[in-house]
Amino acid sequence: MKIHYFYKRKYHKGFYSLEIVAWLEEKEISRQGINRLIFSRLEKLKIFLSKSDRYHDHTFEHDFGKNSCTGHFAHTRKELTEDMKKWEYLPIDRHNYERFRKVALALYHKQSLVDFSDFAGKQNYNVRQIWGD
């Protein structure tokens, strides 16, 4: 068994944007008796955070599982790598993958949640909505 690691990092001024994904490679025998590879997703982490406190926009998605049922159509390493490249993911080694994951989780934990008490009381601004053109 081998694990393939990929990352996608987009640069936005004022934001952190990172996606990482890990695929487990296993061997299988197809119905036609052909030896081939299958890939199961072990983990996908997507994080998008604003760097400033003025604008509060945070997205965090973390999907993982030891016996994940999410698979990939690829049956060769080349197909997997080409598909990841099409979606702008780049290969990465395990050490850097785990480092990115650790930093992303730490950034997420540092974020403050929405304080609903900030919105209590009378609204002190107007919302104007224009219908039509």
User: 37-56: per-residue pLDDT in tens?
Assistant: 999 999 999 999 887 767 77
- Residue 101 sits in which domain range? 2-111
User: Given phi > 0 = left and psi -120 to 50 = alpha, else beta, which region is 100?
Assistant: alpha
Claim: this prediction has a pTM higher than 0.85: no
Helix (H, G, I), strand (E, B) or coil at 22: strand
User: What is the pLDDT at residue 13?
Assistant: 83
User: What is the pLDDT at residue 57?
Assistant: 78
Residue 94 within a domain: yes
Of all residues in the chain, what percent carry a pLDDT higher than 70?
Answer: 94
Residue 52 within a domain: yes
Residue 132 within a domain: no
Residue 75 within a domain: yes
Residue 119 within a domain: no
- Own/partner contacts of 23-30, CB < 8 Å, gap of 24 or more, are 23/72, 23/80, 24/68, 25/1, 25/77, 26/1
Alpha-carbon distance of 111 to 56, in angstroms, equals: 9
